Amino acid sequence: MDLMLRLVYLLLLPGFCISLPFFLHGRPKGGFLGLPVGSANRSPPPEKWFTQKLDHFTSSDHRTWSQRFFINDEHYKPGGPVFLMIGGEGAANPEWMVQGQWVQNYAPQFNALCVMLEHRFYGKSHPTKDLKVESLRYLSSEQALADLAAFRVNISESRGLADAKWIAFGGSYPGALSAWFRYKYPHLVYASVSSSAPMLAQLNFKGPKKVAGLEKYFRLCEPIDASDAKDVSNLHDTIAQSIAGVIQYNRDNRAFEGAVGTNITIETICSIMTTKGSKPFESYAKVNSLLLDTYKEKCLDVSYNKTVQELREESWKSEASEGGRQWTYQTCTEFGFYQTSDLTTQPFGQHFPLKFSTEQCADVYGTEFTQTSIQSAVDWTNSEYGGYNITVTRVVFVNGDIDPWHALGITRDLNAHSPAILIKGTAHCANMYPDAPNDLPQLIRARESVKKLLTLWLS
């Protein structure tokens, strides 16, 4: 029996905390693209609403709903392009309308009108009255792309922008959407900047992870039953995802929802882990405590049943409606992306294999979700959008080599008109955030490279 499993028996310390982990299937609370850290010289614009179709692919279905969006015309001059920031698996944060490279550095140079559309089923954009499975069938990347198309046509017509070139921006899942928007609707979007985009759907994402140990110091909310295989798997998965989150956002100039500080880096973790005289599990426990304190959590809840029960909540008022239920559904119906312990060279043992995640789909959404059905959905996604072999022009793919998600991204030029930029030493969506004093030279150069491409494409 390995050290990690033996120490399961020692985990104690009850307390109070929420039942959903801060990181769920790679997604932090608030979504993959968080609040930018910086200061803007103006307040964000007010929210607006657009009447959107519920089902774009059933002509007899005339139901509609209200989708939230934002517009910033501060830099716009007649004849300028329209910059579209695509919302993702979290609320569209209006701070992005006044912060970030796209609006602070790019829009002024190109006299661009900046708009941001919130993704259906996230934030305040509620297409249905609840989050039941029959409602969630209207949640898909395909419907989201059709939302973008309808929105783009409406804004162009209502604002007299028929001749304006539209440039799509997005990071992480919206980064993939930005490339797919160009692929599926090339007549509507002229170019795209796709940042940290997982272009290949993959059921079993056996990417590298860091290990976190076990012991009673891990501040569990209640004692764990070591004979419950799913609780043990959930414990290992929860700790691993939190550590992976540090790597995923290493030195990114972003804020995390509910976090006290955002300066925890790989160096911070390594410094704790290599402290002389400290036993490995004690070092792991210190890392875990640091992360709990950062997110203002009193304890670590690793009950699998509690996680499932929370994800089963179908009300828009539930904790899971922040995005956990919706994003997990999308992993079960489109993407996979399950970060497992199946890679033989990783240090977790085999405590959260692929079946842990696929069985969670069945436990939350129904027994019709099986590993076979999820694999079929992943295959369909890659067939629909092309995966690594997407055929597009005027799309730039930007990734950081520290970001675990770059393994599913495009890191080599697709063609002469769709280059890839891989930034050494940077993490998830780093190129999108506002300038910071500690920005690496190669990050600064990458941002300038994007600007040069925009100049070329818009000239």
How many residues would you count in the chain?
459
Among the options 196, 252, 428, 439, which is catalytic?
428
The three-point CA angle 95-101-102 to 5° equals 80
**pLDDT interval class at 5 (50, 70, 90):** very low
Percent of the chain with pLDDT over 70: 74
- Condensed to tens digits (0 to 9), the pLDDT of residues 230-280 reads 776 666 667 666 666 665 666 655 554 444 555 677 677 777 767 776 766
Question: Mean pLDDT of all residues in the chain?
Answer: 84
pLDDT over 70 (residue 281): no
Report the pLDDT value the prediction gives residue 18, as an integer from 0 to 100.
Answer: 45
Compute the chain's Rg from CA coordinates. 22
Contact 249, 426 (CB under 8 A): no
**pLDDT interval class at 19 (50, 70, 90):** low
Q: How many CA atoms lie within 13 A of 31 on its CB side?
A: 27
The CATH classification of domain 35-200+387-458, taken from the options 3.90.1150.10, 2.60.120.10, 3.40.50.1820, 2.40.50.140: 3.40.50.1820
Report the pLDDT value the prediction gives residue 297, as an integer from 0 to 100.
Answer: 74
Average pLDDT over residues 52-63: 98
User: Is residue 98 exposed (0-12), middle (13-18) or buried (19+ Cβ within 10 Å)?
Assistant: buried
Among the options 172, 192, 233, 321, which is catalytic?
172
Report the pLDDT value the prediction gives residue 215, as an integer from 0 to 100.
Answer: 34
Reply yes or no on whether 62 is catalytic.
Answer: no
pLDDT over 70 (residue 165): yes
- Condensed to tens digits (0 to 9), the pLDDT of residues 122-139 reads 999 999 999 999 999 999
Average pLDDT over residues 200-229: 60
β-bridge partners, 425: none
Choice among 201-215, 220-234, 295-309, 415-429 with the minimum mean pLDDT: 201-215
- CB atoms closer than 10 angstroms to residue 254: 26
pLDDT over 50 (residue 11): no
Report the pLDDT value the prediction gives residue 294, as an integer from 0 to 100.
Answer: 74
Among the options 231, 301, 363, 403, which is catalytic?
403
Choice among 33-42, 125-134, 158-167, 443-452 with the minimum mean pLDDT: 33-42
pTM (whole model) above 0.85: no
> Where do the domains of the chain lie?
3-31+203-380, 35-200+387-458
Reply yes or no on whether 252 is catalytic.
Answer: no
Torsion sign, CA atoms 246, 408, 187, 55: negative
Reply yes or no on whether 147 is catalytic.
Answer: no
